[in-house]
Structure 1
Amino acid sequence: MRHLIIWVALATGACSTSVPPSVHSGPVAAASGCATPAVRIDFDFEGAALSRCVINGEREFTLLVAPEHAPPINPSPWYAFRYEAGQGAPITVHLDYLVGDHRYIPKWSDGSTSRQLAVELSQDGKRASFVLPAGSARVSAQEVLDTRWHGRAIDRWKSTGGERIVLGQSHDKRPVEALTLGSASAERLVVLLGRQHPPEVSGAVAMEAFVDRIVERLAEDPGLAERYRFLVVPLVNPDGVARGHWRANRGGQDLNRDWGIFSQPETAAVKTWLDANATAHRPVVMIDFHSTRSNLFYVQGEEETDAREQAFLDSWLGQLAGKLEGFEFTIERRNANPGSGTSKNWFHETFDIPAYTYEVGDESDRSATQSAARRIADRFMETLPIAANSPQD
């Protein structure tokens, strides 16, 4: 209960410059960071949540890690900060999770080299402690792939002939950007979504490599570009990513529970584009890229899968199972829960198409993830005609 009270105070801004001594001791600096004569910690870049910082000693600090809204589904305790430390003893940092448990191995980067940090966990998983070397570097739960990283990816894909479009704006007036690939006269549409949940970086790594390969395949075979149109939305939640949220957008909503409701500008922007284009370009497949604790694909339940959808699944993912080096995955069937608000369920219910959630393990090897995503994309393009040839044709 004490942790819940503290979390409410942080979330509402009610927490001042102190924390009950039964939880921590020592002064708490402003949310923008904290400093001693030897060390400074800041949260002044995209992707850094405004954590509270407790100064335990000249070279020891505690960061209070809490979500941006009420305890979320599947907690993803995100943290990110940068530090500057003069020469001397190492710096000790403790992460105290006011909601959820430690999940992500800290990633340390000084701009030229990167590595994971060894962590000492408390028995209840609520505190993670690690040691930092002197100097200047950034520490984060996962690699910081900010809005500019996604913008550069769109620029790269656009250079091969894609069209960059703005679907709408977020609460903070950030653009919800997308890329269209393939011919404007193509009758079939593939929808690719990413980053609905900000910390799910491994899914973004997979999506980048997947789209890279799609772009290459369309360039290699102009006939594919004539048959298929792609809508690629790599950053559905730009505010959440920029603000270092665990799961929600600026409106405090889990966007992957808003499909069908469309109460948020980001999901509504995608829906508006579909309303205007889904007749000319009939949706045939949707893939939504995420991260979880292992590699897996969520697909439709057996009773919701017709013969065509099963043939597509068998020919695509079924042919890859156990054949991707360093990237073992499982296929998990999930029955649609009407009104659940997930993209997977909404696309399947609305368009009667295969709609899958592509999940990548939090700590899956990034190189293996990229290699696997390219092969998965290759097989996807080879199998796509099965999904495209619906009973409507």
Structure 2
Amino acid sequence: MFSYSIINLNFILVGNFMNLFDTIKSFFNMAYLNEEMEKEFLIEESKKIIKYMKFILFIIPVFQIYNIIHTLIYTDFTLRSVASKVYTVFYIIMLIVSLVVILIGVNMDKSNYRGIINLQFVFSFFYIFWIASVTLYDQRVGNNISQYVTGMMFIGLLVYMTPIQAVFIFSIPAILFVVALNIFDKTTGSQHYGAMVSTICIAFSAIFISVYKFSRERQSFCEKKIIISQKNEIEEKNKMLKNLLEHDSLTGLYNRRFFDENIDNIFKSVAVGYGYISIFVIDIDNFKLFNDYFGHQKGDDILRIVSQTIISNIKYGYAVRYGGEEICVVVPNMKKGDAKNLSCVLLNSIRNLNIPTAIENVNLSISLGVHTEKVYKYTLWNDIFEKADKALYYVKNNGKNNFMFFDDLNF
């Protein structure tokens, strides 16, 4: 019974240990980034470095200048003690290095993201060694390591680095610091032991914070990319849905629904500047005869070809399948001269297709009724459309394969 309990206890301990291991593993789970995403992530981190390090690199030189001036004033500008000379040298070294880093950073290409990250890493490594050296020198009068602790936490919280870099940048100075304590610390053994333990604990804490920060930032980046990807996918689907709702599936032209819902707004936008608008009502000549002779499939093909030809020749405006084989083209801010040129282009582009019809020696053609008018607030689009439609009716009854402006009709 006793051995059975021991076995159960072992299973429980092993299980708890494995659960703890899995928890720690998931806690530091590094999100996988492909090469392109890794580059984007590093670019984003370099921008953060530029944003935050500017302030830090401004504070450090200012603080060192203050320390130098304070030391000079405190010693009546004599630096008579060895300590004052040593501290002044420390301050000058940090001042020079920080100014050099600022100079390099200012002249560095902002697109050189790896250079920015590496510069930050080198300066951080130097900073920890510098603050460790200052703290070691302080040990001649006590065992206070708060300055070193603050520096380690400061770097761990603010500086971007990989887990390997974090282990390197925090463990090596900590090891050297502990070894050097035997030389510079003049306190008792118990106090000496406490300082060493504190240093090691702080190093582990700084590594933990840095690795966690690195892991969370990568995870956050991945989550943001997923959100952006999902957003883009939704926008693309909405765009496709909108396109399906607004366009005729056969011809690719805007459909009647789009026309009815938007024509008033199109006219209002033109009316604001008292501009012109041109409406083209287009009909495929002898289309019913073509349909009956060649079949509806061929008829659909002709509709598609004519529609795409019209679309390709309109630089701006709206081409709408108004009904059956009738197409309406609305072009805001187009005067009569330009409308005439476009009518010729559309006519010739269809003629040049050289598509035979059911009538011998007669190729596919279109007829156009056109009207151009200056638009005011009280202008009704129905009136302009009816005028263009009347012009089309005239062309259809006078030989087809041509265009006519409503203004040129002789009533």
TM-score normalized by the length of structure 1:
0.22
Larger radius of gyration: 2
The structure with the largest helix share of the pair is 2
TM-score normalized by the length of structure 2:
0.21
